Amino acid sequence: MDYKSIKKFTMKILNSLKTLTTGNKKLPQTASGLALATHPQSGTDAASHIEIGAGSNAHSSVGSAAKPARMETRGLTVMYGKATGVHNISIPIHTRKVTALIGPSGCGKTTFLRALNRMHDLTRIARVTGEVLLDGKNIYDSDINPVLIRRRIGMVFQKPTPFPTMSIFDNVVAGLKLVGIRNRSILNEACEKALRQAALFDEVKDRLGDAAVSLSGGQQQRLSIARALAVEPEVLLMDEPTSSLDPQATNRIEELIHSLKKEVTIVIITHNMQQAARVSDYTAFFYMGKLVEMGKTKSLFTNPRQKKTEEYITGRFG
């Protein structure tokens, strides 16, 4: 029995149950309390059960993006030797929402972001303390493999970073090949899906074999996003993804972020206040390595609680 025949079968039961209940409705409501209590009741029960079953089935076929993990930080501190990168940050990262990190340059935004997928492991002098909880589990626990964490929490950098010796296609599926997927049709499908998500597919569909570096800067950045999305991460971290792009390319990336948050939790650093206001649901304002305040983007921009925040968003410094 395959999936389709099961579906057909359940639909049949569902339909017959429906006619049963509607048929029952024609009966006088008060006629038989017993009949009403048994047949239609069990009918709706079965129907709702099947609905849920079918629903969850459809979801699981979407993949890991179906149910992104919950994420939050607790007392997160990053030190570079004796210097503090960020100090004692405790914030929630809302699931399937866009969280913007803003603040003057050098305030620790990048430092904080890189702590979220253990990128500091690569920097010798960086030391991370505190917790980053992913579904309640600290990703810095000793039994956690950082490689697996980075597969669940993708990252897009300030500058586009295509692998220069690889084609467009190979760039997109690079992460999938890492996990051992070699099946051409799976790779093709994943490549197309990721490129579509990154709103790049139509521009490159006829030249997937071309070198990735033949693309324009904006296209390269969308390619970097597609590459990060291809492994179906639950969280996507973006460090000023539009800072090296022209307004038009920036626009496209912003639209992209908007459509992506249906499936992926996004944390984005931006220098640009308007951008934070446009794309994010929540905003965290950092200043000198500390969190000044975090809240719904709208309320933070229209009604900041802290004076520092107000000064920054009105452009008095930064």
Ligand X SMILES: Nc1ncnc2c1ncn2[C@@H]1O[C@H](COP(=O)(O)OP(=O)(O)O)[C@@H](O)[C@H]1O
Site residues, ligand X (CB under 6 A): 80, 83, 85, 103, 105-111, 123, 125
**Local structure of 199: helix, strand or coil:** coil
Nearest to 77 by CA among 50, 115, 27: 115
Q: How far apart are CA 232 and CA 264, in angstroms?
A: 9
| Contact residue for other proteins among 160, 218, 241, 289 (CB under 8 A) | 160
The alpha-carbon radius of gyration of the chain (Å, integer) is: 24
The interaxial angle of helices 3-25 and 33-62, nearest 10 deg, is 150
Q: What is the DSSP string of 58-98?
A: HHHHH-GGGSPPPEEEEEEEEEETTEEEEEEE--EE-TTSE
Tell whether residue 171 is a contact of Mg ion (CB under 5 A): no
Query: Quick one: 111 or 171, whose CB is closer to ligand X?
Result: 111
Query: Quick one: 70 or 271, whose CB is closer to ligand X?
Result: 271
Compute the least distance from the CB of residue 120 to ligand X, in Å: 9
Query: Quick one: 45 or 210, whose CB is closer to other proteins?
Result: 210
Compute the least distance from the CB of residue 98 to ligand X, in Å: 18
Compute the least distance from the CB of residue 83 to ligand X, in Å: 6
Binding string, residues 19-48; x marks residues near other proteins by CB under 8 A? ------------------------------
Nearest to 221 by CA among 196, 249, 188: 249
* Binding residues for other proteins restricted to 177-216, rule: CB under 8 A: 178-179, 211, 213
* Joined tokens for residue 75: 């007392």
Which residues, other chains included, contact 39 with Cβ-Cβ below 8 Å and sequence gap of 6+? Answer: 20, 21, 24
Binding string, residues 96-125; x marks residues near Mg ion by CB under 5 A? --------------x---------------
Q: Which residue has the tokens 């049709």?
A: 185
Residue ranges that bind other proteins, judged by CB under 8 A:
117, 119, 122, 147-148, 150-151, 154-155, 157, 159-166, 174-175, 178-179, 211, 213, 220, 224, 227-228, 231
